[in-house]
Amino acid sequence: MTSPTFGPGEEQTARTLISLAVAEDFGTRGDVTSQWLIPADQQGTVDIVSRQHGIWAGGPVGKLVFEVIDPSVKWTSHIEEGASVAPGTSVVTISGAVRSLLGGERTVLNFLGRLSGIASATQKYVAATADTKVRILDTRKTLPAYRLLDKYAVRAGGGHNHRIGLYDGCLIKDNHLGAWRAVDETRSLADAVKAARANPDNDLPIEVEVDDLNQLADVLMAHPQMVLLDNMNAETLKQAVAMRDQSAPGVLLEASGGITLENVAEVAQSGVDRISIGALTHSVIALDLSFDWR
């Protein structure tokens, strides 16, 4: 798999979060334990080692942690982002002042464990649907301020990104419709799509959330780019795909809600194009990584 791009947006997010993380750990006095026990000139080398099977992600963030704490620390990666790791795999070697290594230990493992955990979870969903055409996507259910990093980790796991925020995609959900219809109860889902499309600033894809097949029939008449099928079982999803194929074959269908590793293959086999899964980022189980001295 091609390594995901860690671009300027991800780097700026990482630097901001690292600054906050280091400040909360060091306070105004720094790592007092290391200062009281470790000579300032003592040098050392550490391997970051995986204790379990998973997918590696977050190396560029980890490297930035030590650039902030001590630019003289040397960071050497042994595997690419998105690569599989097994228990005992050394993913990175870090060398430098022991005080600096100890000062960054918890911060770097916090970042790397979270991002590798997201990548590992994503890869399991991707593998479970590998014999279908479906794309596995994330959602906006990310840790506040971590969104670009969380979504980077999804890409490292072989998944795809949904919209980043409220600014880069029009997703008409039930609460939008409720507020919009409060003005005129006769307004339909198709009318909502037409209203969004008529906006003079409209240069973004339009997606609409529906709860049942009647709503789907309504919205397909307006041909949005995508329709989100919320909390539908596999049989209903198959019917939705048949409706789409007959009346609006160019519209992409996205299943969401209640997706687990146990049912994702069945959902994918219904014929939908996309499956979005909030659990990829809102229920993270960190990959178990250790900081092992050589």
Active site residue 173: yes
Is 106 designated active site?
yes
Q: Which two tokens stand for residue 216?
A: 């789907």
- The active-site residue, picked from 207, 209, 254, 273, is 209
Residue 194 annotated among the catalytic residues of the structure: no
Active site residue 141: yes
Separation of alpha carbons 187 and 119, rounded Å: 42
Distance CA 158, CA 135 (A): 9
Catalytic choice (133, 173, 245, 292):
173
**Which of the residues 51, 124, 141, 238 is marked catalytic?**
141
E strands in 81-205 = 84-85, 90-97, 135-137, 170-172
Pick the catalytic residue: 106, 133, 174, 292? Answer: 106
Residues ≥6 apart with Cβ < 8 Å to 46? 93, 94, 95, 101, 105, 291, 292, 293, 294
Rounded distance, CA 57 to CA 64, Å?
14
Residues in Cβ contact with 243 at an 8 Å cutoff, skipping those fewer than 6 apart: 213, 216, 217, 220
- Residue among 70, 230, 266, 288 flagged as catalytic: 230
Q: Which residues are catalytic?
A: 106, 141, 173, 209, 230
